[in-house]
Amino acid sequence: MDLILDNPPFILDRDCHYPQLPNDYLIFLARFQKPRTIEKSAYELTQYLEWCERSARDYEKATENDIWDYTATITGGNRTYNGKVDRVCDFYKYAARFGINNPVEALLEPRNLLHRRAEHGRQIRIVSKAALWKFLQGFQVKRDALLAKIFYLTGLRLSELRTLPRTFLDISPSDGVVEYTVTGKGGVRRTLQMGIKQRNEIAEYAKTTTGPFIFSWDGVNPISADTVGKVFRKNATKTGIRVHPHMLRHMYATDRLRALEKEFGGRAGINAALRVLQMELGHKSIETTSIYLHVASQQEASNSLRDYQEQVQKEIECRLKK
């Protein structure tokens, strides 16, 4: 299938065996889009239709699984992937006006399809528990080791933990946990829980610092993201294990999901488990949380977050003593 320069520009070759609809879509776009945009849309649509032809699939009867199969063939970074999927989605939104089945009706946002990409193991990366213990043992500075451990125990983002206010220490624990409110990405506010043991570790470290932030480099400003990144990279070079702060959030999410799944009765309770994890991580969409399904750990874990954190804490201490 070839592209030809015409007026309107960049339409699919009318001699191909596909119906007129793809051409009509591009003509529709030409009413308000620039020629370069029409060219990109025509190119991506051509690639998709050719894939349908090679795999003996009818684009008018495409299913959600057909779209997943197609996205698995897309190469390139997230931006490239996003653009390719976006144009296919837009075509189906247009085609739906004419009674054509829309296989991505519930997934019109490309980022949701990117989550599917993660299920194929091309986005989320974690390390084994043995590698994690080795990485944690590599830190020589108490502050850096504490940051890494809290990332893993709570799933906090880098921006959330490095700006943890000193007022956090004023919160009175209840039933062995400290509940505190975090304003995260996109202004999403959520209430988190931290075991008293972890809270006391932070309080002990805070005695060595001053200012409004617990993790501060000058007693006024919070430790910078660059500084945290540098100490993690330095430790990665030392231990030979590449771990970054956000990976520890991923590891928390996968381990925690398994614990919640067990609490809610196994696979039958996975939706409830995902909803709880969504709140704990501060995700706006459940689709974002669901990317952890494929990497959820198989470890045994306790039901409550407090017990879960205490169990992991004991495991870390045991490993670090060896």
Q: Name the 3-class secondary structure at 270.
A: helix
CATH code of 221's domain: 1.10.443.10
Clarify whether residues 252 and 165 are in a common domain.
yes
Q: What is the predicted pLDDT for the residue at 123?
A: 54
Give the bridge partners for 180, in sequence order.
192
Clarify whether residues 299 and 249 are in a common domain.
yes
246 is known as an active-site residue:
yes
Among candidate residues 115, 249, 250, 258, the one labeled active-site is: 249
Q: What pLDDT band is residue 305 in, cutting at 50, 70 and 90?
A: low
Clarify whether residues 115 and 142 are in a common domain.
no
Q: What is the predicted pLDDT for the residue at 110?
A: 52
Task: Supply the range of the domain harboring residue 59.
Answer: 3-119
Among candidate residues 48, 94, 152, 292, the one labeled active-site is: 292
**Which of 62, 89, 119 is at the close of a domain?**
119
Q: Name the 3-class secondary structure at 237.
A: helix
Torsion, CA 91, CA 96, CA 101, CA 107, rounded to 10: 60
Clarify whether residues 280 and 137 are in a common domain.
yes
pLDDT tens readout for residues 186-242: 778 888 888 888 899 999 999 999 999 999 988 899 999 999 999 999 999 999 999
Clarify whether residues 110 and 146 are in a common domain.
no
Residue type at position 108: L
**Which of 119, 137, 153 is at the close of a domain?**
119
Clarify whether residues 234 and 107 are in a common domain.
no
pLDDT tens readout for residues 6-54: 544 455 655 555 557 888 888 888 888 887 888 888 888 888 888 888 8
Considering the domain boundaries, does residue 124 fall inside one?
A: no
Please state, in angstroms and rounded to a whole number, the distance separating the CA atoms of residues 156 and 280: 9
Q: What pLDDT band is residue 126 in, cutting at 50, 70 and 90?
A: confident
Query: Cβ of 25: how many Cβ atoms within 10 Å?
Result: 23
Among candidate residues 185, 230, 233, 294, the one labeled active-site is: 185
Clarify whether residues 19 and 137 are in a common domain.
no
292 is known as an active-site residue:
yes
Nearest to 143 by CA among 201, 210, 221: 201
User: How many structural domains compose the chain?
Assistant: 2
Clarify whether residues 207 and 86 are in a common domain.
no
pLDDT tens readout for residues 269-287: 788 888 889 888 988 877 7
Clarify whether residues 135 and 270 are in a common domain.
yes
Clarify whether residues 157 and 87 are in a common domain.
no
Clarify whether residues 194 and 175 are in a common domain.
yes
Considering the domain boundaries, does residue 154 fall inside one?
A: yes
283 is known as an active-site residue:
yes
